[in-house]
Amino acid sequence: MHDPKVDWCYRTEPDPGLNGRQLDWPRGKVLGGSSSLNGLLYVRGQPEDYDRWRQMGSPGWGWDDVLPLFKRSEKQERGADEYHGDDGPLCVSNMRLQRPICDAWIAAAQTMGYPFNPDYNGATQEGVGHFQLTADRGRRCSSAVAFLNPARARPNLTVLTHAQTEKVLIEDGRATGVRYRDISGALKTVSARAEVILSAGAIGSPQILMCSGVGEAAQLRSHGIEVQKDLFGVGKNLQDHLQARLVFKCKEPTLNDEVRSLYGKARIALKYALFRAGPMTMAASLATGFVRTGDHVATPDIQFHIQPWSADSPGTGVHPFSAFTVSVCQLRPESRGEIRLAAPDIGVYPKIHPNYLATQTDCRTLVDGVNIARRIARTAPLAGKIAQAFRPSDDLAMDDYDGTLNWARDNSTSIYHPVGTCKMGSGADAVVDARLRVHGINGLRVADCSIMPEIVSGNTNAPAIMIGEKASDLVLEDRRSGPTRKTPVSRKMTSRPLDNAKEQAVEDDH
Ligand SMILES: Cc1cc2nc3c(=O)[nH]c(=O)nc-3n(C[C@H](O)[C@H](O)[C@H](O)COP(=O)(O)OP(=O)(O)OC[C@H]3O[C@@H](n4cnc5c(N)ncnc54)[C@H](O)[C@@H]3O)c2cc1C
């Protein structure tokens, strides 16, 4: 994170729900996208999430439809069962690290009545336990490692790196290719023989669509973009998980102490190099909990991420004292934000308006979640290990709703799950249909987190990969059932330097 070589380093606009604060929104700028710099946590969400997608107008996306796709991609260390697969390309493994403070958190939560759940991706999500990771014996298994590397030698695959797509080329309502800028700054064109599939993520995909003339007509015209298709929903319906990070000072050492000295860092590195063990195998968090804030909800509406370290914000270096973090996030926020173009140019970052904490339910749920976290911290055996509540301090009364909400507005940050900006469905704000085809444009699909009509109740990487699995089925089905659209114009890749000098044609097959 925060390295512009591999992170787009987006930043949100000042957000009213966060008392005007702006947040960093890291996104992977590397093969594998954000799965190459994410926290490795393997979480699918709740069956009800997908059943809601289906009911909102997306047949084929209910839990019974998508569970086989999750299983198909999975190589589960614990073996196959009703909920898991063990011969897919995506390695899913147990945590190779334990820390007493995280185990004490799980035990205290159990004392409070939250059940232990050995598999939150299994029969039920509810309960507390340890995370599983998209990792293979301590090594990251990004989507590039799992899916792209094994396919690299295929003759019908060309991977262009350091290439930024500027727009989808659209002729007579049909996508005919893309224009991109290569590392030298030259503008080039790739023609599509069958179709174009955008997978640029919840920020990139709507931005490319809008730069291509697909989006809300008034917004496009205000930037001088010729409208190819007036699609109101492009960039709308933005959802994210907001996390309130509570920090507790500890009476015993935590990871903060382990990484503070050069000797400690060397020990960690050596342990990893020799045994592929220790903190370098760790995901962003060790323990988790999916809980309901009350009987008014049927399934968990809060997720906890428990980290045996603490920092002012993730990626900025740990605190100089022993402490751990309890991150609280509301699983299904009602608030909706928006991505808007800042300029008709892909090189200018769009404006990101997350619109966090904009509804009463979102505020109430987050405050309730923070209070549950504070109660768990006051429960044995965790309470005995805590020296002091650091953030928020105990000066903030638990029954002070406004104070707690204001603390959350001042301190919360993204957990990096933006979704929903090319919404799937059939309503007026839908961008793609249930086969991921952009409404009103032939030969163009979107396949990434942007298509989620509603954010899932959990981390978004496993669902993004499931969307990829589904997309591959849809593409193959449509090809097998015969071309529904005109076959393409050409099999050529053309290259046009920026100074508009003569065009050069290159043989290719896409
Ligand atoms: C720091 C961080 C931690 C996270 N932790 C977790 C976690 O622990 N568990 C979890 O489940 N999820 C986690 N997530 C979220 C998860 O990784 C993402 O939801 C998921 O990877 C999104 O997949 P995607 O395909 O929608 O988009 P991305 O993975 O973001 O992929 C989009 C790709 O498109 C490329 N792109 C964008 N614009 C253009 C353009 N114009 N031209 C060419 N290429 C372009 C990008 O470079 C990128 O490679 C985390 C995310 C981040 C950033």
253: domain CATH number? 3.30.560.10
- pLDDT tens column, 60-115: 999 999 999 999 999 999 999 999 999 999 999 999 999 999 999 999 999 999 99
Distances (CA, A) of 194 to 170, 475, 479: 13, 10, 9
Q: What whole-number percentage of the chain has pLDDT above 70?
A: 95
Per-residue pLDDT at 489: 34
At 442-477, the pLDDT tens digits run 999 999 999 999 999 999 999 999 999 999 999 999
Confidence of residue 488 (pLDDT cuts 50, 70, 90): very low
Kindly state whether residue 54 falls inside one of the protein's structural domains.
Answer: no
pLDDT in tens, 409-440: 999 999 999 999 999 999 999 999 999 999 99
Q: How far is CA 224 from CA 218, 341, 346, 402, 466, in A?
A: 10, 11, 14, 44, 37
Domain identity same for 325 and 451: no
Could you list the residue range(s) of the whole structural domain that residue 442 is in?
A: 163-238+420-507
Average pLDDT of 139-159?
96
Q: Are 412 and 327 in contact (CB under 8 A)?
A: no
In a domain, 101, yes or no: yes
Name the pTM for this structure. 0.94
Q: Is residue 158 part of a domain?
A: no
Residues 438 and 297 in one domain: no
Q: Please answer whether residues 457 and 463 qualify as being in contact, where contact means their C-beta atoms are separated by less than 8 angstroms.
A: no
Domain shared by 286 and 433, yes or no = no
User: What is the predicted pLDDT for the residue at 59?
Assistant: 97
Note whether 247 and 301 are same-domain residues. yes
- Residues 488, 194: Cα–Cα separation, whole Å: 7
Catalytic residue check, 296: no
| CA 473 – CA 44 distance, rounded (Å) | 19
Q: How many domains does the chain have?
A: 2
Mean pLDDT of all residues in the chain? 93
* Cβ 164 under 6 angstroms from ligand 1: yes
d(CA 27, CA 1): 8
Buried b (16+ CB within 10 A) or exposed e, 186-219: ebbbbbbbebbbbbbbbbbbbbbbbbbbbbbeeb
Residue 188 lies in a domain: yes
Residue 133 alpha carbon to ligand 1 centre in Å: 16
- Selecting among 130, 241, 353, 417, the annotated active-site residue is 417
Domain identity same for 272 and 370: yes
CA 19 from centroid of its chain's CA atoms = 24
Q: Assess whether the C-beta atom of 462 lies below 6 angstroms from ligand 1.
A: yes
Q: Is 214's pLDDT higher than 90?
A: yes
Could you tell me which of 497, 453, 444, 452 has the C-alpha nearest to residue 475? 444
> What is the per-residue pLDDT for 510?
35
Start-to-end CA distance of the chain, whole Å, equals 33
- What is the CATH classification number for the domain harbouring 218? 3.50.50.60
* Cβ atoms < 10 Å from Cβ of 342: 14
Most ligand 1 atoms within 8 A of CB, residue of 120, 460, 470, 472 to mutate: 460
pLDDT digits (tens, 9 = 90+) for 292-322: 999 999 999 999 999 999 998 777 789 999 9
Residues 169 and 211 in one domain: yes
Whether 10 maps to a domain, the answer reads no
Q: CA-CA distance, 462 to 90, in Å (whole number)?
A: 10
Looking at the fold, whether 221 and 249 belong to one and the same domain comes out as no
Tell me what pLDDT residue 135 has.
97
Whether 439 maps to a domain, the answer reads: yes
Q: Is residue 261 domain-shared with residue 378, that is, in the same domain?
A: yes
| Ligand 1 atom with least separation from CA of 33 | 49
Do 374 and 453 share a domain, yes or no? no
Burial (Cβ within 10 Å: 0-12, 13-18, ≥19) of residue 462: buried
* Final residue of a structural domain among 411, 438, 457: 411
Q: Are residues 255 and 387 in the same domain?
A: yes
Report DSSP state, residue 487. Answer: P
Say yes or no to pLDDT of 503 above 90. no
Q: What is the pLDDT of residue 316?
A: 78
451 CB less than 6 Å from ligand 1? no
Residue 365 lies in a domain: yes
427 and 490 share one domain: yes
- 3-class secondary structure, 247: strand
Q: Are strands 492-496 and 187-191 parallel, antiparallel or unpaired?
A: antiparallel
* pLDDT the model gives residue 314: 73
**CB neighbour list of residue 142: distance below 8 Å, 6 or more residues apart:** 31, 32, 35, 36, 134
354 vs 21: CA distance, rounded Å: 11
Asked if the model's pLDDT at residue 505 lies above 90, the reply is no
Is residue 8 a part of any domain in this protein? no
Q: What is the residue-wise DSSP string for 262-312? A: HHHHHHHHHHHHHHS-SGGG--S-SEEEEE-SSTT-SS--EEEEEES--BS
Tell me: do 260 and 171 sit in the same domain: no
Report how far ligand 1's centroid is from the alpha carbon of 46 (Å): 21
